[in-house]
Amino acid sequence: MNLLRLKNLLLAAALVAASSLTARAQIDLFITEINPGGSGSGHGYTADWFELTNTGSTSLILTGPGSLGLKVDDNSNLFGSSLTLRGVTTLLPGQSAIFLESPDSGAADAGIQTAFKTAWWGSTGAAPTGLLLGHYNGAGIGLSQTADAVNIFTSAGVLVHRVDFGAFDATSPFSTFDNTALSSGIVSLQSAIGLNGAFLSANGQEIGSPGFAPIPEPSTYALLIGLAAMGLVIVRRPRAQAA
């Protein structure tokens, strides 16, 4: 391969890796999965939900004193109409949490969680160790199957992450929206069995990977930058000697 072309390719790789690392350093909380079709059957509950993933290298305090105080809104995109997230205090690096819609401030939470676990894993006891489930409730938010959005704000009104999605295909088994690509625009990728950890739910009605998003660690990007930089040195060294 032409040395100049190789150098340009390595430089491009370094810039892409550096850009990705910078984006992760600035925004380390992402919406990684959305289900506007709702999960769960039995107990009288079927709940819409979305997944948040900590892609950073430090723990995030989501709720409680001194926390981010996270809130959610749909496609009205307004902090003023956002609802408080509750039930999950901390997200460790690489950890994900599911937030389910609830019809009240807590009385129905246990039943909603039982219905969710039974739908996906067959029983509460079969749910994976470490699964984190939280809730949100209030008027004015409902994830539409036609088109909608999810906005995550801090308690100070700072937008942390937003995604939009279009029409939801409710043909059984239906698929959740997969945003493991960490898009901040329109999410159209639907979960498929075997892709990014997605599987068919125990009740055979849904495909997704709730609670666990396979996100590369920041160290991966640092390694790419290092390798690309080494490649540039190797490419440039013979030219220096020839001079």
Which tens digits make up the pLDDT trace of 179-191?
A: 999 999 999 999 9
Q: Which of 82, 95, 181, 173 is nearest to 133 (CA)?
A: 95
pLDDT (0 to 100) of residue 74: 96
Percent with pLDDT over 90 in the chain: 67
pLDDT (0 to 100) of residue 43: 58
| 14 has a pLDDT exceeding 50 | no
46-50, 55-59, 138-142: which has the minimum mean pLDDT?
A: 138-142
pLDDT (0 to 100) of residue 186: 96
Cross-strand bridge partners of residue 34: 50, 177
Domains within the chain, CATH numbers bracketed? 29-211 (2.60.40.1260)
Is the separation of the CB atoms in 193 and 207 below 8 Å?
yes
2-16, 46-60, 82-96, 138-152: which has the minimum mean pLDDT?
A: 2-16
Residue 85: which residues within 8 A CB-CB, separation 6 or more?
Answer: 62, 63, 70, 71, 72, 99, 134, 135, 136
Q: Which two tokens stand for residue 233?
A: 């040195």
pTM, entire model: 0.79
CA dihedral 221, 27, 212, 226 (to 10 degrees): 10
